[in-house]
């Protein structure tokens, strides 16, 4: 799934490539991913429109057009954009494509068909599920230590579950939740109400540090926007590999139905676990 650092990179690249570009034609292959909140079709609504800007809102990526319309994309598990020239193939999983005035094509691919693309009047975003229920943007100036402390203060859930609650923090996914907790030296099943004041401050600093580190690493990799860059991660999907900090073995545990990866030495549990990895 594209996570926040991925979306920041994709947003910047699409802004650079698309702003002012005209859509000549729209081709739809898998309409199941589309949610058209207009009386007209996608093809008739967007043919001839020009891209105005590209923005991000939590896990959503928004494309706005000069005809007062917008397409809001929630990529979910496997959604991704791809720009191709007239001699390149899009690959598998194409759901819809915008043929551009410079002969390139912007494709939306999703071989799981789990993502959603909403076409609607620009600004009418209350119609999109979970769009207006996003918590504070963790990359914004409003995401302060004091705000973080207030959000976590009365939580009793596991800390990894708290980090991934998009109604509180917008938005942390599986990969960076693991990286944040590794950086903060916290076990993923630690309860929020077990955290000392210093733990909370360390966790806040790790959220800020790790997300900006992820953004920087993805930008440095310079891959095409459809490529998921994960070579820099330290624990995510590193089961049975040595911890980069202490050489212990990275373990995997289930947390509310999701796989969590952690180092049992660097991230010791604060309460007894079913499996004592040490």
**Res 272 pLDDT > 90:** no
Q: Are residues 188 and 239 in the same domain?
A: yes
Nearest CA-CA partner of 266 in 42, 251, 274: 251
Q: Does residue 29 sit in the same domain as residue 140?
A: no
Total structural domains in the chain? 2
Residue 257 has pLDDT above 90, yes or no: no
196-248, pLDDT tens digit by residue? Answer: 999 999 999 999 999 999 999 999 999 999 999 999 999 999 999 999 999 99
Q: How confident is the model at residue 277 (pLDDT cuts 50, 70, 90)?
A: low
- What CATH number does the domain containing 256 carry? 1.10.8.50
Establish if 278 belongs to a structural domain. no
Percent of the chain with pLDDT strictly greater than 70? 97
Examine residue 102 and state whether it is found in any structural domain, yes or no. yes
pLDDT score of 86: 87
Overall average pLDDT of the 154-161 stretch:
95
Based on the fold, state whether residues 165 and 93 are members of the same structural domain: no
Please check whether residue 277 lies inside any domain of the structure: no
With H, G, I as helix, E, B as strand and everything else as coil, classify residue 48: coil
Q: Say whether pLDDT at 161 is over 60.
A: yes
Confidence of residue 278 (pLDDT cuts 50, 70, 90): low
Q: Which residues constitute the domain of residue 159?
A: 136-262
b/e per residue 14-53 (b: at least 16 CB within 10 A): beebbeebbbeebeeeeeebbbeeeeeebeebbeebbbbb
**Each residue's pLDDT tens digit, 24-81:** 999 999 999 999 999 999 999 999 999 999 999 999 999 999 999 999 999 998 999 9
What value does the mean pLDDT of the chain take? 95
Cα(46)–Cα(52) distance, rounded to whole angstroms? 12
- Cβ contacts of 144 within 8 Å, gap of 6 or more: none
Same-domain status, 117 and 152:
no
Q: Do 148 and 57 belong to one domain?
A: no
pLDDT beyond 80 at 119: yes
Q: Which of 53, 54, 2, 55 is nearest to 171 (CA)?
A: 2
Of the two residues 129 and 1, the one the predictor is more confident about is 129
How is residue 12 written in tokens? 């910047």
Residue 75: how many other CB atoms lie within 10 Å: 25
pLDDT at 276: 60
What are the start-end ranges of the E strands in the chain? 23-28, 34-36, 51-57, 60-65, 69-74, 80-84, 94-100, 105-109, 116-121, 136-137, 169-170, 251-255, 258-262
Which positions ≥6 away from 101 have C-beta within 8 Å? 21, 22, 23, 24
């Amino acid at each position: 799934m594209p996570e926040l650092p991925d979306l920041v990179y994709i947003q910047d690249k699409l802004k650079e490539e698309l702003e002012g570009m005209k859509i000549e034609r729209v081709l739809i292959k898998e309409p199941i991913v589309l949610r058209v909140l207009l009386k007209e079709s996608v093809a008739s609504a967007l043919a001839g429109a020009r891209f105005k800007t590209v923005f991000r809102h939590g896990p959503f990526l928004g494309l706005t057009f000069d005809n007062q319309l917008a397409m809001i994309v929630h990529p979910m598990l496997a959604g991704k954009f791809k720009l191709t020239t007239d001699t390149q193939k899009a690959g598998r999983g194409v759901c819809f494509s915008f043929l551009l005035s410079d002969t390139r094509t912007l494709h939306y691919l999703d071989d799981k068909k789990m993502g959603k693309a909403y076409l609607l009047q620009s600004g009418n975003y209350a119609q999109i599920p979970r769009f207006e229920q996003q918590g504070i943007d963790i990359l914004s100036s409003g995401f302060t230590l004091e705000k973080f402390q207030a959000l976590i203060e009365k939580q009793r859930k596991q800390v990894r579950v708290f980090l991934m609650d998009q109604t509180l923090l917008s938005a942390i996914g599986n990969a960076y939740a693991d990286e944040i907790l590794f950086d903060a030296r916290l076990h993923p099943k630690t309860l929020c109400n077990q955290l000392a004041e210093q733990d909370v401050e360390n966790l806040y600093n790790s959220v800020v540090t790790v997300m900006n580190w992820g953004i920087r690493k993805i930008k440095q990799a310079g891959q095409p926007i459809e490529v998921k860059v994960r070579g820099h991660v330290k624990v995510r999907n590193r089961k049975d590999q040595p911890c980069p900090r202490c050489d212990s073995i990275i373990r995997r545990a289930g947390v509310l139905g999701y796989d969590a990866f952690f180092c049992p030495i660097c991230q010791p549990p604060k309460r007894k676990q079913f499996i004592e990895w040490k």
